[in-house]
């Protein structure tokens, strides 16, 4: 009885905290969209229609964005469309409609692609170009958008879709982030859609899903259809049609007709200024598993594979006291996000035990320690320092190095210590070289856990720091739920982990595996490995590591297929993961010609937009004149054909260890044993968000 009463009290306290959070939470971010000069003497273009189609299946997601620009002026203009680089996304398609016909882009070296585009533009011919602006954005230039006419383009990208503690997440990024000062000084983003907006996501999973949530879009239509979940958003005022009781396939198959049909009533206030975040949760008590998706056509000696290991580990809670150092970004770009940060930190502090201690350091152009040494995590101390953190006013530049440097001081060698770094920005003050950051973090035996807020943070730097300290990074959209993210992270760091993880494959020749260095696996974390293999047949696969200093090995056997032709996208996913590895090497140790050329070669072979390659569209006869091989056109045809075949078939299981299970335990989830009495499942927190928002809004109207 006392246990149930305690659960109820903690649950009600959490609901009250959540209601306060939602009542106060505001975010400010620049929208991604059509870029227009700040010089108002130049005319603006319109984003007439914006349609997004996503299919999530077999461990990866394919996102297709159809967009129509309209030029309401009497002269031809150029459109520059910019959107954030999604996490681990490989840009695979840029199609532009010329004289009513779709023409797909081809990948060239970056300088050459720009020269081709500018030459065609100078001649007044149709041309388009998609480039990658480092880790920040993809930028698509289109010329010309004819006077008083429309121009249509389509972009597609592929990305892995891992599940964490039984929860999957898909984010369609629309918020630019507001940290690129150079771009902001010259351009503004047109975030208005004058015509139609549709977002359609289909989740096809062989593992049962018990719910789907969109915390920032409570009005989304969600329909379960046998082994599929279908999510739909649009800017229609009247939702009497569409997914409410009609054929789901309309949203998936008839996109062309939808774009040509103008609805009678549109939401005139709709803007492309908010990420679309989708959560889905697998049912409880699923076994630990190994899934294999391969691509190897008839006659090929070499195949490509994606191996997904979802551990079922009996990782025990950590009960001894630990030291936590919070290093918090309070630079100017955190304006509008800082309340979200403080509530997340508050929740983390409240989840500590009185055996734990904490320090709090803030940084902008310099750093300051609020706590003045380690503070015992008593209820009174936690409340005192939460109040002090809330009083800080963001402003100034971003000296990440100084904040980390101060956080690493005065650590107690006799206690386990971890750093939680929360930032949204780019290191633009003080030391900024990645190599120096890595040297700094390696001076101490400490785990770094990073919350990366927004879409424009320096993810390569922050991921490198967590990788070298064997911690982990969590991306947090401004439209996301920071409290749920904190709960998710707490479910990891409060438990043992598998350190020094290594994957061994014997019995069949495998090579070009990525990642090469796995590091640590935390509770509920999936391991996704890409690679090549020769031949076919049975393989002995083992996952090795240490838990609390003791060696442990998990083993299984399964077959690599002779022919597997359903998932050609695996080749691009392998290529992009390999490019990421090469890029990390350059970020850590500096650029070399060999590494740069390797990235260019892979980008050209697999038609991927990288830091050194771009995708260009020209008129069909120009491709022939310039001798540009239509390699990507052929690859897209193969991928689209396979995609249609998969859609026509029931969802297939990709699990390969059923005959010889690698794990004896079920997959851990946020609701598994050891989560803590009274702890709220982050997924159910998301479920309650729309209710709380409505409750708060009604209170405000009174």
Q: In this structure, how many other beta carbons lie within 10 angstroms of the beta carbon of residue 86?
A: 20
Q: What is the pLDDT of residue 507?
A: 95
The CA-based angle 281-284-286, given to 5 degrees, is 105
Mean pLDDT in the chain? 81
Question: Using an 8 Å Cβ cutoff, are 15 and 688 in contact?
Answer: yes
Q: Which fold has domain 323-494?
A: Rossmann fold (3.40.50)
More confidently predicted of 637 and 35: 637
Position 690 pLDDT exceeds 50: no
Average pLDDT over residues 359-387: 91
Position 232 pLDDT exceeds 70: yes
Task: Choose the weakest-confidence range: 119-123, 333-337, 354-358, 642-646.
Answer: 333-337
- Report the distance separating Cα 495 and Cα 55, nearest Å: 34
Position 252 pLDDT exceeds 70: no
Tokens (6 digits) for 335? 């304006």
3-state helix, strand, coil in the chain (%, to 5): 30, 35, 35
pLDDT digits (tens, 9 = 90+) for 676-686: 333 445 554 44
pLDDT digits (tens, 9 = 90+) for 269-321: 567 777 888 999 999 999 999 999 999 999 899 999 999 999 997 788 888 88
- Report the distance separating Cα 250 and Cα 257, nearest Å: 9
The residue whose two tokens read 């001649």 is 123
Total-model pTM: 0.82
Position 100 pLDDT exceeds 50: yes
More confidently predicted of 312 and 430: 312
**CA dihedral defined by 142, 147, 148, 151, rounded to 10 degrees?**
-20
Strand partners, 230: 202, 223
- Report the distance separating Cα 136 and Cα 458, nearest Å: 8
Give the percent of the chain with pLDDT over 90.
Answer: 42
Q: In this structure, how many other beta carbons lie within 10 angstroms of the beta carbon of residue 255?
A: 18
The full set of domain ranges for the chain reads 323-494
């Amino acid at each position: 009885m006392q246990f149930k009463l305690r659960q109820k009290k903690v649950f009600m306290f959490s609901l009250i905290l959540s209601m306060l959070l939602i009542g106060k939470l505001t975010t400010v971010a620049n929208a991604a969209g059509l870029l227009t000069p700040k010089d108002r003497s130049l005319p603006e273009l319109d984003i007439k229609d914006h349609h997004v189609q996503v299919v999530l299946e077999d461990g990866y997601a394919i996102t297709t964005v159809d967009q129509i620009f309209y030029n309401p002026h009497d002269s031809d203009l150029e459109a520059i469309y910019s959107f954030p680089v999604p996490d681990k996304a490989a840009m695979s398609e840029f199609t532009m409609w010329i004289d009513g016909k779709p023409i797909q882009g081809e990948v060239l070296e970056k300088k050459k692609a720009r020269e081709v585009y500018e030459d065609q533009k100078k001649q007044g011919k149709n041309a388009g170009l998609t480039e990658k602006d480092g880790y920040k954005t993809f930028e698509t230039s289109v010329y010309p958008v004819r006077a008083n006419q429309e121009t249509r383009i389509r972009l597609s990208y592929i990305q892995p879709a891992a599940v964490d503690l039984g929860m999957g997440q898909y984010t369609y990024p629309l918020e630019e982030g507001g940290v690129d000062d150079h771009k902001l000084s010259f351009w503004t983003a047109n975030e208005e859609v004058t015509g139609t907006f549709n977002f359609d996501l289909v989740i096809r999973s062989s593992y049962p899903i018990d719910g789907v949530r969109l915390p920032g879009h409570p009005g989304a239509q969600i329909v379960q259809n046998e082994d599929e979940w279908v999510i739909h958003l649009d800017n229609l005022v009247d939702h009497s049609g569409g997914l409410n009781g009609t054929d789901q396939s309309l949203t998936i198959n008839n996109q062309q007709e939808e774009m040509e049909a103008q609805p009678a009533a549109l939401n005139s206030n709709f803007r492309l200024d908010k990420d679309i975040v989708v959560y889905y949760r697998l049912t409880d008590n699923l076994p630990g598993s190994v899934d294999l998706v391969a691509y190897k056509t008839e006659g090929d000696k070499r195949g490509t594979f994606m191996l997904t290991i979802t551990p079922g580990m009996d990782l025990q809670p950590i009960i001894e006291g630990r030291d936590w150092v919070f290093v918090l970004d309070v630079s100017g770009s955190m304006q509008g996000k800082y309340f979200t940060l403080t509530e997340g930190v508050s929740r983390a502090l409240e989840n500590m035990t009185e055996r734990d201690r904490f320090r709090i350091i803030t940084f902008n152009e310099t750093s300051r320690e609020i706590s003045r040494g380690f503070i015992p995590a008593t209820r009174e101390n936690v409340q005192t320092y939460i109040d002090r953190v809330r009083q800080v006013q963001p402003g100034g530049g971003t000296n990440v190095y100084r904040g980390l440097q101060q956080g690493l001081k005065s650590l107690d060698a006799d206690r386990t210590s971890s750093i939680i770094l929360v930032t949204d920005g780019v290191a633009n003050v003080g030391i900024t070289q990645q190599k120096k950051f890595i040297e700094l973090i390696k001076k101490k035996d400490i785990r770094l856990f990073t919350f990366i807020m927004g879409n424009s943070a320096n993810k390569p730097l922050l991921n490198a720091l967590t990788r070298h300290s064997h911690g982990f990074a969590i991306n947090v959209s401004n439209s996301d739920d920071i409290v749920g993210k904190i709960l998710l992270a707490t479910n990891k760091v409060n438990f043992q982990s598998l350190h020094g993880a290594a994957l061994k494959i014997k019995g069949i020749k495998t090579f070009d595996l990525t990642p090469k260095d796995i590091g640590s696996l935390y509770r509920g974390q999936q391991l996704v490995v890409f690679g090549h293999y020769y031949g076919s047949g049975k393989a002995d696969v083992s996952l090795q590591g240490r838990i609390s200093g003791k060696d442990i090995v998990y083993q299984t056997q399964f077959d690599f297929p002779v022919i597997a032709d359903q998932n050609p996208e695996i080749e691009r996913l392998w290529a992009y993961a390999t490019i990421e590895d090469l890029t990390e090497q350059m970020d850590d140790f500096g650029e070399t010609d060999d590494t740069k050329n390797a990235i260019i070669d892979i980008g050209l072979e697999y038609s991927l937009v990288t830091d050194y390659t771009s995708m260009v569209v020209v008129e069909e006869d120009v491709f022939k004149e310039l001798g540009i091989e239509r390699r990507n056109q052929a690859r897209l045809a193969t991928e689209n054909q396979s995609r249609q075949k998969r859609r026509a078939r029931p969802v297939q299981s990709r699990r390969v260890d059923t005959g010889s299970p690698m794990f004896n335990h079920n997959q851990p989830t946020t609701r598994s044993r050891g989560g803590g009495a009274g702890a709220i499942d982050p997924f159910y927190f998301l479920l309650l968000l729309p209710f709380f928002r409505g409750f708060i809004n009604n209170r405000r109207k009174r």
